[in-house]
Amino acid sequence: MGAVRDTSNLYAQTCFQSVFKRIIYEMKKLIVLCVVTGLLAMLLAACGGSSSVNSSSSGNSSSPIVHLGASNFDQSSITIQKGQSLTLTDDTAAVHILANGSWVNGAPQPKQEPGAPTVNNVQFNGNDSHTVGPFNTPGTYHLYCTVHPGMNLTVIVE
C-alpha cells in the first residue's frame, strides 16, 4: 500500500510541475508580447517625421487665416505673399484631414507640388487651428480635405 501512495504523490507532483511550467511559459510569452508592442509603439512615434505644419490654439496674427466650415473652406482661394504662412482654423466640430492636392471630378488627386510646404494628412478635430508654411516659392498650390469631397483650397503665392 505504501508504494501506491508514493506513486500517487509522484503523479501529483509531476502534474503540478507540468502545469506550473506551462503557466510560466505563458507569462513569458505575455511579457515578450508587451515589450514588443511597446517597442513598436515607440518606433512608430519616433518615425512620425516632420512637416511644414504647426499646431496652434490661437491663430498667428501675422499670417492670413482661412476658415474651415463643416464640409468646405469658407473661401476657395487665397492670395498671400512669398514667405508667409497660412493659418487654417476649423470653426466647427467637424473633423477634417488636409493634404496637398485637390478633388477633381469627385476623385481625390493627392499631389506634392514643387515649392509647396508638405501637408500630409493634417487632422483637425474641430475648433482648432494649424499653420501651414511658409510658402517660400511664388506659384499656385492646392490643398484639399480627404474627408469631404470637393473641399479644395487654392493658395496663390506672389
- 68 with 132, same domain: the answer is yes
Average pLDDT, the chain: 85
Structural domain for 124, as ranges: 53-157
**How far apart are alpha carbons 67 and 118 in whole angstroms?**
19
Per-residue model confidence (pLDDT) at position 48: 46
Per-residue model confidence (pLDDT) at position 57: 40
**How far apart are alpha carbons 53 and 132 in whole angstroms?**
5
Q: Last residue of a domain, which of 10, 28, 49?
A: 49
At 128, the pLDDT band (50, 70, 90 cuts) reads very high
Max intra-chain CA distance, the chain = 102
- 110 with 131, same domain: the answer is yes
Q: Is the pLDDT of residue 5 over 70?
A: no
What CATH number does the domain containing 102 carry? 2.60.40.420
**Percent of the residues in the chain that have a pLDDT greater than 90, as a whole number:** 59
- 98 with 142, same domain: the answer is yes
Asked whether 157 and 135 are in contact (CB, 8 A), the reply is yes
At 133, the pLDDT band (50, 70, 90 cuts) reads very high
At 107, the pLDDT band (50, 70, 90 cuts) reads very high
Neighbour tally for 20: CB within 10 Å: 10
- 151 with 79, same domain: the answer is yes
- The x, y and z cell numbers of residue 62, run together, are 501675422
- 90 with 135, same domain: the answer is yes
**How far apart are alpha carbons 131 and 65 in whole angstroms?**
9
- 64 with 134, same domain: the answer is yes
**How far apart are alpha carbons 22 and 124 in whole angstroms?**
48
Q: Output the CA–CA distances (angstroms, integers) from residue 21 to 25, 28, 31, 127, in the order listed.
A: 6, 11, 15, 55
Summarised one tens digit per residue, pLDDT across range 19-63 is: 888 888 888 888 888 888 877 776 666 554 434 454 444 444 478
What is the average per-residue pLDDT within 143-149? 97
Which helix (DSSP H) or strand (DSSP E) does residue 38 occupy?
Answer: helix 2-46
- 109 with 121, same domain: the answer is yes
At 3, the pLDDT band (50, 70, 90 cuts) reads low
- 59 with 132, same domain: the answer is yes
